[in-house]
Amino acid sequence: TQLLEQSPQFLSIQEGENLTVYCNSSSVFSSLQWYRQEPGEGPVLLVTVVTGGEVKKLKRLTFQFGDARKDSSLHITAAQTGDTGLYLCAGQSRRDSSYKLIFGSGTRLLVRP
Amino acid sequence: KAGVTQTPRYLIKTRGQQVTLSCSPISGHRSVSWYQQTPGQGLQFLFEYFSETQRNKGNFPGRFSGRQFSNSRSEMNVSTLELGDSALYLCASSLLGLAGGRTSLGSYNEQFFGPGTRLTVL
């Protein structure tokens, strides 16, 4: 069974601080996606990384895909209250001709003013 | 462009009943995937439909089924409801589906999620 472990599960920080969320697996994924979900809404895609070692930046958010394509990290610089939400990583895998998107358990981030 | 819509948004059922949830994808998208989200298990993939055919399936019992119509709208059905079926059910639409890849415009295929249907089983 493929699993994606996210850490930490919960994070409460002060506005202006930096943070990193980790997403780890023993399995290789063809791509990895990061989503943010707010209460009462579905997840919204932030980024997709497909190449081992790839680094993508989205304003204050930096995403990295591990060289072996088994892990990823999300780093937020100078967090703002608007960054509050549930962050989910999701790995896309393929077995034979079947595709699946496997989600991590999520990191619930609270940014305090 | 209108987003993904799901109906109903909230539903209360009792054990043993059945339920049908509906999802209308973004216009032009042919893939609809369904997910179950619970506090304990997180977000789990149920199945994907592409051009009216089930193309991928997760590890859920046969009580969970779905279908897709020619206009790409999709329905998910859960029969003989159990307490553990209480969850947020999300659908996601995409142009290319879970097979992914890049669109003709060069952008990476993306899934767009609806707001979900919150099902409570009493």
User: Which tokens go with A7?
Assistant: 């850490």
Which pLDDT band, with edges at 50, 70 and 90, does A81 fall under?
very high
Of A52, A51, A30, A34, the residue nearest A43 (C-alpha): A34
Q: What is the pLDDT along chain B (122 residues), one digit of tens a residue?
A: 679 999 999 999 999 999 999 999 999 999 999 999 998 889 999 999 999 999 888 889 999 999 999 999 999 999 999 999 999 999 999 887 776 665 555 555 688 999 999 999 99
Question: In DSSP terms, which residues pair with A10 in a beta bridge?
Answer: A108
Report the Cα–Cα distance between both ends of chain A, in Å, rounded.
40
Percent of chain A at pLDDT > 90 equals: 73
Name the residue with higher pLDDT: A28 or B89.
B89
**What is the reported pLDDT for B96?**
77
Which pLDDT band, with edges at 50, 70 and 90, does A34 fall under?
very high
Contact B92 A42 (CB under 8 A): yes
Let me know: does B46 contact B85? Beta carbons within 8 Å. Answer: no
Q: Which site among A25, A35, A92, A101 would you substitute to test the B interface, given the most B Cβ atoms closer than 10 Å to its Cβ?
A: A101
Question: Cis omega (within 30 of 0) on the bond before B39?
Answer: no
